[in-house]
Homo-oligomer: A and B are copies of this chain.
């Protein structure tokens, strides 16, 4: 029984790692599509989102099967539930990448972003994708050290996001309200994506170590 349980648990971790990779790719492509007004790439992100939704449903099914067939208790139980929560966050990250891609499509062939804020989004995009890839790495390698770097990347997204707001709020913002609205929402999408990635990584550290690093329920 225990052996079957651990094989199943490894399969589940493998699927979660796959989802992390999917949503990292999605955000990388969505950011590129937005920055380069690449409609084809935007469409690719949009049509791929259902794969993330499917992967989440698969993870839940597998976790439910584990609970039903193995009836884990104590730490083992928490590990399975952490995986269910992580799958939910990962799906949400996919949705946020989808929102970015849809913004690129909506404004095409015009650029979504005014020239002066593009570097902020290029940086936020890189940091956000790095967060998702680190979460993937933590899941695959069980390298808890890698999880430590996650807070740093998240702080970076928050810093850039704050700078972005100071640019927006500057009285000399010359791009009008419509662009400001787009920039506000897009900034929010990256910030939320990063928050979810941190939440996933922390839950994965818990899966590996049985301990939640500085977990606060509000981050979930």
Contact = CB atoms under 8 A, between A and B. Distances in A.
Nearest to A98: B218
Interface stretch (A30-38, A76-84, A118-126, A140-148): A76-84
Contact of A64 (B49, B81, B176, B177): B81
Contact of A220 (B64, B78, B91, B181): B91
Contacts of A218: 49, 53, 91, 95
Given A81-B64, A84-B81, A177 B185 contact: no
A7 interface: no
B88 A220 contact: yes
Contacts of A85: 88
A56 to B, nearest CB: 6
A177 B180 contact: yes
Interface string A129-164: 000000000000000000000000000000000000
Contact of A177 (B49, B88, B177): B177
Contacts of A188: 185, 188
A68 interface: yes
Interface string A196-211: 0000000000000000
Interface in A54-87: 56-57, 64, 67-68, 71, 73-74, 77-78, 81, 84-85
3 nearest A-B pairs in the assembled complex, by CB-CB distance: A71-B71, A184-B184, A177-B180
21 contacts: A49-B218, A53-B217, A53-B218, A57-B217, A67-B67, A71-B71, A84-B84, A88-B88, A91-B217, A92-B220, A165-B181, A168-B177, A169-B178, A173-B177, A176-B177, A177-B177, A180-B181, A180-B184, A184-B184, A184-B185, A185-B188
Interface of A: 49, 53, 56-57, 64, 67-68, 71, 73-74, 77-78, 81, 84-85, 88, 91-92, 95, 165, 168-169, 173, 176-178, 180-181, 184-185, 188, 216-218, 220
